[in-house]
A and B are shown apart, each in its own frame.
Chain A
């Protein structure tokens, strides 16, 4: 116990100042934001869904919980069920095998709800999309492409993977109408 306390004191506080929201990431009018803020204050519950990623985006989502980004300190926490969630944080591309699971997770999330699509693959199918057909939506026999092909997306954050700061910015963008100012 002495060792643990000494280590905690030695470590100190690592948490950094969070980033501001960015209008550039907005995909749709955020009609829900005000409602969510009014209903939930600063307590946002996020359900993460990996719909077919390479697991790279997940590494950065995990990092959001480390002491430097300390996302729980902002009142944002990850929950175990979509029924407890205000927001889905979805990584992709959406594999066809995950299409139904993603739709059901979306349906199980109570209104009002927000969806943030994470990473280049979540935005447009990324490297996994064939380059010769099916337009720009990134579909193939095994992939439905971008998240927005399967469920409505409010904010999409590119990056391979997006950094924790970019993820925080996207989450804050989704829940604030005025860009967090």
Chain B
């Protein structure tokens, strides 16, 4: 397609992504072309460029049939506005509202301009990501007064749920409008976990930032740490040693295995098959214990560092992972057949929380729920960064888009992750070289990293200031795309199925609240 092949230079580093600066008209027209081409929005964020007398800037990452594209749109300080793209990409809605809250840039012509990440802790005229805001003080709490959309009519009533939920879950608010048990509308209100992560990055060194990136969403610590490292390495112009890249893939697949096992356990639990919970969490615990003994951390936090990895795998320990893979393959075979043949499980799973492929495409559903609704999106396959370019990942797909499909995909992806781990072990050679030294980053540089975490594509963008320090770090979670789709998935289902449907997506609150 014309728009990718032309003017924009490719950014250095592992990710095949072009970057260009555009004006309002080009921005809108490129987005329109990309939409027509079947493309989609990955992330949208803003930055304060007033230190260079350049006002503000809006940035988007887009994916089309021809590859990845990052656009930067300068925004004048006197009139901080840019063209709305939520009519093209519905997922832009909340991202644009977050940019308005945090930076004071507004999407001209957007239908929905309600606040999103801001509740009552800072006033509307304060924008935390502006450089003249130092981020340390607190404000007197206001009232939140969020304008929910209300559904009226005979017999309609509301159930407000959260922010503190009934289980061991992250906080968020769900407003159900129902008749009887049937859900007419669900409106999500997130942002409860907003703790100023993006502001926090501004005072950190590139090394410190790696730790914070690994704690944007603790269950995806490997994915975030890798995406962050990839962005830093793109800016620094360094390539980690082969051994480090193989180790990263090993960590990422182990993170996927641990999370999918946990989810399958809870999916069983949510349909009263506590046997499933017990079994899958035994398996998960065994993976976590191997992580602790082989790599020193149950969730592999801080094992990936910019430039490489903190530690490798001793050659004699390959056996531990091989045995673990064999054990898991054996047990998963039994458990899959139990889930598939259990009438109660299938009765609850089948048809619940269905997202048809057409709706998934329209709303930009990504990651595992996207693949369960026939959206062929997996960064390991579409944009395979080393070592995935040597691994030939088989993308798992389903077209039913219900809880059953999302559960079935988890089994398929588990088996594929186990196969990949074996492949990685074959390719993993001994040696001491684990990382490249990281020198001072160049000034006014920009880098992007993206990896396919267990939940979906995790992206981190980094801008450096004139002295090469972190000026702006934007971590993007796939949950931004997928939370709004959950509002559709629940429609016409019954309230008691919401926990099950929600769990089948298992989206991140922390990753979207930042």
Chain A contact residues (Cβ within 8 angstroms of B): what range?
Answer: 35 or more
* Contact assessment for B219 and A140 in the assembled complex, using a CB-CB cutoff below 8 Å: no
Also in contact, A55 and B219, with CB within 8 A (given A4-B275, A101-B171, A131-B203): yes
Decide yes or no whether A31 CB sits under 8 A from chain B: no
Decide yes or no whether A39 CB sits under 8 A from chain B: no
* Contact assessment for B285 and A63 in the assembled complex, using a CB-CB cutoff below 8 Å: yes
Decide yes or no whether A49 CB sits under 8 A from chain B: yes
* Contact assessment for A50 and B279 in the assembled complex, using a CB-CB cutoff below 8 Å: no
Contacts of B509 in A (CB 8 A): 55
* Contact assessment for B164 and A49 in the assembled complex, using a CB-CB cutoff below 8 Å: yes
**Which residue of A8, A56, A68 is within 8 Å of B299 (Cβ)?**
A56
Decide yes or no whether A54 CB sits under 8 A from chain B: yes
* Contact assessment for B218 and A53 in the assembled complex, using a CB-CB cutoff below 8 Å: yes
* Contact assessment for A95 and B299 in the assembled complex, using a CB-CB cutoff below 8 Å: no
Chain B, residues 327-362, CB within 8 Å of chain A (1/0): the string is 000000011011001000000000000000000000
**Which residue of B136, B167, B275, B282 is within 8 Å of A80 (Cβ)?**
B167
Q: Can you list 17 residue pairs at the A/B interface with Cβ under 8 Å?
A: A4-B275, A7-B279, A52-B171, A55-B170, A55-B509, A66-B285, A95-B195, A96-B141, A97-B192, A97-B193, A101-B163, A101-B171, A128-B196, A131-B203, A132-B136, A140-B195, A141-B199
* Contact assessment for B168 and A95 in the assembled complex, using a CB-CB cutoff below 8 Å: no
* Contact assessment for B281 and A65 in the assembled complex, using a CB-CB cutoff below 8 Å: yes
Chain B, residues 496-511, CB within 8 Å of chain A (1/0): the string is 0000000000001110
Main DSSP-derived SS at the B contact region: loop
Decide yes or no whether A153 CB sits under 8 A from chain B: no
* Contact assessment for B338 and A139 in the assembled complex, using a CB-CB cutoff below 8 Å: no
Chain A, residues 118-158, CB within 8 Å of chain B (1/0): the string is 00000000111011111000011111100000000000000
Chain B, residues 98-120, CB within 8 Å of chain A (1/0): the string is 00000000000000000000011
**Which residue of B128, B281, B508 is within 8 Å of A67 (Cβ)?**
B281
* Contact assessment for B195 and A93 in the assembled complex, using a CB-CB cutoff below 8 Å: yes
**Residues of A with Cβ closer than 8 Å to B?**
3-4, 7-8, 11, 14, 48-63, 65-68, 78, 80-82, 93, 95-101, 105, 126-128, 130-134, 139-144, 160-161, 163
Binds A, one of B88-96, B209-217, B412-420: B209-217
Decide yes or no whether B298 CB sits under 8 A from chain A: yes
Bound-state Cα–Cα, A126 to B208, Å? 13
Decide yes or no whether B284 CB sits under 8 A from chain A: yes
Say how far B285's CB is from chain A's closest CB, in angstroms.
Answer: 5
Say how far A14's CB is from chain B's closest CB, in angstroms.
Answer: 6
Also in contact, A4 and B338, with CB within 8 A (given A54-B218, A55-B217, A67-B278): yes
* Contact assessment for A66 and B281 in the assembled complex, using a CB-CB cutoff below 8 Å: yes
Chain B, residues 127-151, CB within 8 Å of chain A (1/0): the string is 0100001011111010000000000
Contacts of B288 in A (CB 8 A): 63
Across chains A and B, which 4 residue pairs bring their CB atoms closest together, nearest first? Answer: A56-B218, A142-B196, A96-B121, A80-B166
* Contact assessment for A96 and B138 in the assembled complex, using a CB-CB cutoff below 8 Å: yes
**Residues of B with Cβ closer than 8 Å to A?**
119-122, 128, 133, 135-139, 141, 163-164, 166-171, 191-197, 199-200, 203, 211-212, 215-219, 221, 262, 275, 277-279, 281-282, 284-285, 288, 298-299, 301, 334-335, 337-338, 341, 508-510, 513
Bound-state Cα–Cα, A100 to B144, Å? 11
Say how far A89's CB is from chain B's closest CB, in angstroms.
Answer: 9
Bound-state Cα–Cα, A52 to B217, Å? 11
* Contact assessment for A7 and B334 in the assembled complex, using a CB-CB cutoff below 8 Å: yes
Q: Nearest CB to that of B286 among chain A residues?
A: A68
Also in contact, A67 and B282, with CB within 8 A (given A96-B121, A142-B194): yes
Bound-state Cα–Cα, A55 to B301, Å? 13
Also in contact, A97 and B284, with CB within 8 A (given A4-B275, A127-B212, A141-B136): no
Q: Nearest CB to that of A89 among chain B residues?
A: B168
Also in contact, A141 and B166, with CB within 8 A (given A59-B299, A161-B299): no
Q: Nearest CB to that of A105 among chain B residues?
A: B164
Contacts of B171 in A (CB 8 A): 49-52, 98, 101
Also in contact, A78 and B122, with CB within 8 A (given A59-B219, A142-B128, A143-B196): no
* Contact assessment for A133 and B196 in the assembled complex, using a CB-CB cutoff below 8 Å: no
Contacts of A68 in B (CB 8 A): 282, 285
* Contact assessment for B282 and A141 in the assembled complex, using a CB-CB cutoff below 8 Å: no
Contacts of A4 in B (CB 8 A): 275, 338
Contacts of B341 in A (CB 8 A): 3
Contacts of A101 in B (CB 8 A): 163-164, 171, 192
Also in contact, A11 and B282, with CB within 8 A (given A98-B163, A127-B211): yes
Contacts of B163 in A (CB 8 A): 98, 101
* Contact assessment for B192 and A95 in the assembled complex, using a CB-CB cutoff below 8 Å: yes
In this complex, the member of A55, A96, A143 whose beta carbon has the largest number of chain B beta carbons within 10 angstroms is: A55
Say how far B41's CB is from chain A's closest CB, in angstroms.
Answer: 25
Say how far B227's CB is from chain A's closest CB, in angstroms.
Answer: 15
Bound-state Cα–Cα, A51 to B172, Å? 10
* Contact assessment for A66 and B284 in the assembled complex, using a CB-CB cutoff below 8 Å: yes
Contacts of A67 in B (CB 8 A): 278, 281-282, 285
**Which residue of B138, B139, B170, B195 is within 8 Å of A128 (Cβ)?**
B195
Bound-state Cα–Cα, A130 to B197, Å? 10
Bound-state Cα–Cα, A93 to B192, Å? 12
Contacts of B279 in A (CB 8 A): 7, 11
**Which residue of B120, B138, B164, B215 is within 8 Å of A141 (Cβ)?**
B138
* Contact assessment for A95 and B337 in the assembled complex, using a CB-CB cutoff below 8 Å: no
Contacts of A143 in B (CB 8 A): 195-196
Contacts of A81 in B (CB 8 A): 166
